[in-house]
Amino acid sequence: MTEFNRAPRGGRHRSACDLCRHRKIRCDRAQPSCENCLLARVSCTFTAKPAEARKSIRQRLSETQLHVQNLENLITNGDAGSRGLAKASSTHHYSTRSHFHDTADFENAMSTFQQHLEYSWPGGDRSSHRANFCSAIFHHTGSHFDLDDFFSQVTDSYQSQYGTEEKKQAISQWPDKRLVRNCIEYYDRKGLYSVFPIVDIRVIRELLDAGALDDESTASPVANKACLVAFTALIAQLHRHSPMFANAKPDTYVRAVLSLLPDLFMEEADVRTLETFIILTIYIPPTGQSYPAEMMLAAAVRILYKLGGHRQRAPNENHGAHNHYHIRSLFWLSYWMDKEMSLRACREPMINDASCDLELPSTYVSQSSTYQFLQAPLSSDILLYPSDLRLALIKSKIYRLLHSDSGREQPESTRMQRILELDQELSALESSFPAHCQPHVFATPDCPLYAFHDLSMRGVTLHLDYYYCVKRIHEASAACGTQYSFSSGMGLSYQTSRCMLLYINQVRAFITWHSFWIYAQWLLSAVISLFYHCMANPTSSTFSGDLEILENTRDIFTSLMHNTEEGKCIAPFYITEAFVDKLIQFAKQSYMRATAI
């Protein structure tokens, strides 16, 4: 029997169960289940909130002042101070208290995993979906699933096997000038501007030659130095397997740049400032830390608007044609990142489409080219970007028309029409890809492994990005619901999740510690959808095949956990393996319950 734990708050008792409170409807508080939960066929739960003692205004003011002081300490990054760090030699190390942390550490990895999981429920970041998911598990298996308790058990298990990790001291360090020059020449020689148009290579080469890294005077713009160091960190990280970057320490360089943020915000912003913030926005997400990346992107977007990058023609033509072409390239890179973050986190985008010229660059790669998917030499004369810009434009519509507050408030008929139209637009985009590069060609159990050999990292990301968009479109049919309903839209979401996991199992070689957080939300979202279908349909003819896909997905992380040069356990892989394995156990329980005589 479900017990109601009526926790007082502010002297009053809460009078509704979780479902009725979320739907903002009257709850009859009947036991063991209220009428609304009975009709919805979900477990009637009443989440208790601990009583909180009222705090005086003086106490709250004191806490607020302390919080502000802590934030200021984070920004100034410890005792050295940004000016002291800027004047230091390239060999000195500094203690920092930067928000940029090491997500290989178990505690940080667990926090990051939970954050990604909260965005992986159908419908996005909605606490009700997490609660309803756990209620559905109880309904189909008879077992309670407390996520907080589960993660506590995973933490205890990890620590019992590997012990408590000693916290690493976060340090900042300036790169050697030779390394900076190697990054500049490598970027230019490899044509990397095509995928990451992050700097005007001619200008930063001139800055290095002019001694921007050596200039300690306050007259020299901080952005010049910050841009060079951030650029070096990104190139050394992206191409860490190249022998020339073997001894580089990109994270320490990024922390050095972060120490300059107070000065960057205080001086007049220019293109170098914009480049610095965009580089940081690209560097941080693969570490799993979305909040700092969003802060960097917010700063970049403000500068983009100031410089006229949101318009096809700059309001101030003094910038010059070449300079504005570069700024527009930076705009599209920011646009792609903004729409990606918006759809993943189900939040309002920072760039408003209505205020921008959205004509694609004239040098953007042909839509019918295999250049988007296969490994091939790059050219700085052709803009490729990390993913298809047309997909970014569709993502903007998916959020605005389906997942924004205004989109959710539309009548069901309007929403279904929008789902149909967006699905058709996405299908038209897929059909424009070369026939042998279309996503569905690869997402089958029978696809030979040699078909994946020529795929580039960008091609893999584009395919999974496409599937994620399909899933987000069709799960919108349940985005406003209070339970998991398998309408035709959710059925398509399940089929898409199945394709995503089949695909991921085929490209497991692309999953590394450095790329995991890029794929984490896509993977978790697909795992949850496929698991729910298994659990809700244990007698289906697809059950055994779907369960096998989940088991193969778990096995990816079982095999990768210790696949490091040091032989250490990779914390994010350990947590992922435990989570997927737990869902597999629940799926099996559902099957045993359904087939019990």
pLDDT tens sequence across 413-450: 899 899 999 999 999 999 999 998 999 898 888 888 77
pLDDT tens for 357-388 read 999 999 998 767 888 899 989 999 999 999 99
Which run of H or of E encompasses 227?
Answer: helix 222-238
pLDDT tens for 150-209 read 999 999 999 999 887 776 677 889 999 999 999 999 999 999 999 999 999 999 999 999
> Which of 43, 41, 50 has the alpha carbon at shortest distance from 18?
43
Tell me how crowded residue 353 is: count the other CB atoms within 10 A of its CB: 14
pTM here?
0.81
- Which sign, positive or negative, has the C-alpha torsion 181, 239, 334, 105? negative
CA–CA separation, 239 and 293 (whole Å): 21
What would the mean pLDDT of 288-316 be, rounded to a whole number? 89
Q: What is the DSSP letter of 399?
A: I
Tell me how crowded residue 126 is: count the other CB atoms within 10 A of its CB: 18
- C-alpha dist (Å) from residue 440 to 524, 547, 557: 20, 21, 24
- Residue 337 vs residue 368, higher pLDDT: 337
Quick check: 484 pLDDT over 50? Answer: no
Q: Where are the beta strands (DSSP E) in 247-379?
A: none
Give the start-to-end residue ranges of the domains of the chain: 110-162+411-596, 172-359
CA–CA separation, 204 and 210 (whole Å): 10
CA 516 to chain centre: 10
- Residue 22 vs residue 10, higher pLDDT: 22
Q: How many Cα atoms sit within 13 Å of 179 on the Cβ side?
A: 28
Question: Going by C-beta distance under 8 Å and a sequence separation of 6 or more, which residues neighbour residue 110?
Answer: 151, 154, 155, 571, 575
By mean pLDDT, which of 58-72, 78-92, 153-167, 364-378 is the weakest?
78-92
Token couple for 205: 């080469």
- C-alpha dist (Å) from residue 410 to 20, 128, 185, 344, 428: 21, 20, 53, 21, 25
- 47-86 in b/e burial notation, b at 16+ Cβ within 10 A? eeeeeeeeeeeeeeeeeeeeeeeeeeebbbbbebebeebb
Position 412 confidence tier, pLDDT thresholds 50, 70, 90: confident
Residue-level pLDDT at 72: 46
Position 52 confidence tier, pLDDT thresholds 50, 70, 90: very low
Largest CA distance in the chain: 82
Quick check: 25 pLDDT over 90? Answer: no
Quick check: 261 pLDDT over 70? Answer: yes
Rounded CA Rg of the chain: 25
CA–CA separation, 498 and 479 (whole Å): 20
CA–CA separation, 321 and 363 (whole Å): 14
Q: What is the DSSP letter of 164?
A: P
Residue-level pLDDT at 32: 81
